[in-house]
Chains A and B, each alone.
Chain A
Amino acid sequence: MIFDANTALYIIEIVIGGLFVGVGVHFVPVGGAPAAMAQATGVGTGTVQLAAGSGLTGLLSAGMMMSVTDNILLVVASGAVGAMIMIDATMVVGNWSYIYGVGVPPASAKVDYDPITKNPQPPYVSQGTVGHGIPTVCYVSGTIGGLLGGAGGSLIYYALMNINHNPGLSGMFAIGIFVVNAVLASYNIQGTIEGFHDPKFKRVPRAFQACLVASLVIGIIAVLITGGA
């Protein structure tokens, strides 16, 4: 392959995509194992698991869109919307589980009032827990997380597809780069985060730096490997 200005542009796109993923994971409200026992606010699974589940569902939508158009905006938007649909459906059904299956109202323990609805939170938190369910602020934050994750994954896929025109290879590498950034971000989160209102969200700049370095290195490697295939 020839290393020209276009190749540099594709690497930059991969880095931007990686950063979208890394930052997006911080928006996804995950309570980890405690949330599965309605012991913590957020979705009852791990950060990487939910971010990857939604982001890669978005990748399927982006792949479908890219097979019929070269418009970067449509491809990225399609991926973002696909990821948002997956994470929204999951969070709505997760709330069914909390509200109808466990009998708890959604409540956050990190803020006294929901920043969006202004509803008071502590009176609705059951004893011995740090919140449960997915209140509105977490839901909106999760939707933004899906948007960023889906857009990031799609942008990486778009760049790789322009290099090698092989959907299978590009998809596999996009998944790899996505997961690297999601895992890095989840180290920064250390298990649980409620969304953009959580004090842990202030750690985003650290993840930004780490994802920047990781995406750059892995972007160069991915371009070299897939471009030479």
Chain B
Amino acid sequence: MDMVSMGLLAAMGALATVAGASEDIESDAGSQSNPNSQVQLAAQVGHPHRIYNKAISGEPPSNALYAAVAAVTASVLMSGFGMSAFFAIAIGAVVAAIFNGIYATTAYMGRNTSQARFNQYVYLDVLRTHTTTIMAHAYITVFCVVSISYIMTASWLPIQHPFPMPLVAFIWGLAIGAIGSSTGDIHYGAEREFQSYPFGAGLNAANSGDIVTKAEAGLRSSIDNAWFCAKFGGPITGMAFGLTVFLDNWRATIFDPATQGGLVVLTGIVIVILFNIYNRIMESRARKRYGPYPEYIGDIEA
């Protein structure tokens, strides 16, 4: 372990945390992924809305695409034109953000026009204000993911991953999408979309599609949702991706994989066991604090 490697690892962890947070807010501002099923359903059950609607694909494939596009562009600029890494990654992220903007626009137009029979309109002001917000967040995500990939693969840096940079970026893009879709989106789907229902319960299947369409003043837009989710869903997504990138690489930094491979694996196993114990403690505390649901009428005792 040398100090440069630890410093780079810390930088990777920090970049991953920022990337995770912006990825989640991007998917909330654009309403991608699973909670978007309710946005799609809303107009059909009589709640036309001004929420953005860009379920381009699952988050992992779309983020993998953006990250790979940016990494390929940056690689070409660095190797073919001798550009510095910072500017090459920045330009690569711009290209990825443009891809994101194109997909977001076509998804919003396509999905909302197909729901015209349910009185769902295409709001051009929503398109104009939200698409740039989504692209900006996608830019931050991609810039951070490709920077992590560059740190892992650059020949002059101590971490020497054998995969080419675009492949590393592709995998981290897939991972960040999977994490964003699994963590922060729940805050958007289960809480923000259904704030009119009491806190502390999952969505009753009978209320599907009854999303909140009114804001504190006027009609709710997806930027209102991004504002709300940036307080909890975004940061915890960042922590999840930051933990993944940091812990996965930390064990290979404090021990030398070439001579202490067993210790690298053993450290990982200890981390996994600690995660399992922590989850159990968290579950017990939640059950104790919240208690059973009063409306439960079965005969199994809590």
Contact = CB atoms under 8 A, between A and B. Distances in A.
A82 B272 contact: no
Nearest to A40: B202
Contacts of B293: 123-127
Contact of A86 (B37, B170, B244): B244
A158 interface: no
A46 interface: yes
B251 to A, nearest CB: 8
Given A37-B189, A143-B272, A45 B205 contact: no
B283 A86 contact: no
A34 B269 CA distance: 31
Interface of B: 33-35, 37-38, 58-60, 160-164, 167-168, 170-172, 174-175, 177-179, 181-187, 189-191, 193-194, 199-208, 232-233, 236-237, 239-240, 243-244, 247-248, 251-252, 257-258, 261-262, 264-265, 268-269, 271-272, 275-276, 278-280, 282-283, 286-287, 290, 292-293, 295-296, 298, 300-302
Interface in A1-57: 32-39, 43-46, 48-50, 52-54, 56-57
A contact patch SS: helix
Q: A-B pairs with the 3 shortest C-beta distances?
A: A53-B178, A128-B204, A81-B268
Most chain A beta-carbon contacts within 10 A, residue among B33, B237, B286: B286
Interface string A88-107: 11111111111111111110
Contacts of B239: 93
B240 A167 contact: no
A49 B168 contact: no
B174 A56 contact: yes
A99 B282 contact: yes
Given A71-B261, A103-B290, A168-B167, A86 B248 contact: yes
Contact of A63 (B163, B208, B287): B163
Contacts of A140: 276
Most chain A beta-carbon contacts within 10 A, residue among B163, B164, B191, B279: B279
Most chain B beta-carbon contacts within 10 A, residue among A48, A60, A121: A60
Contact of B181 (A44, A81, A89, A96): A44
Contacts of B200: 102-104, 126
Most chain A beta-carbon contacts within 10 A, residue among B59, B167, B179: B179
Given A82-B268, A99-B286, A36 B34 contact: yes
Contact of A104 (B185, B193, B202): B202
Nearest to A121: B300
A63 B160 CA distance: 10
Given A124-B292, A139-B279, A102 B258 contact: no
Interface stretch (A129-137, A197-205, A207-215, A217-225): A129-137
A44 B201 contact: no
B210 to A, nearest CB: 11
B177 A49 contact: yes
A168 B164 contact: yes
Contacts of A61: 248, 252, 268
Interface string A153-192: 0000000000000011001100100000000000000000
21 contacts: A33-B37, A36-B37, A36-B190, A37-B34, A37-B190, A45-B33, A45-B185, A53-B174, A68-B261, A90-B240, A92-B279, A93-B243, A95-B283, A96-B282, A103-B290, A123-B292, A123-B298, A124-B290, A132-B202, A136-B279, A172-B167
A59 interface: yes
Contacts of A120: 300-302
A90 B182 contact: yes
Contacts of A123: 292-293, 296, 298, 300-302
Given A56-B171, A105-B290, A97 B187 contact: yes
A81 B279 contact: no
B286 A52 contact: no
Given A67-B160, A93-B236, A57 B248 contact: yes
Contacts of B240: 89-90, 92-94
A127 B247 CA distance: 38
Contacts of B168: 60
Nearest to B238: A93
B272 A88 contact: yes
A56 B175 contact: yes
Contacts of B264: 65, 78
A195 B206 CA distance: 26
Contacts of A101: 186-187, 190-191, 232-233, 236
Contact of B300 (A36, A105, A106, A112): A112
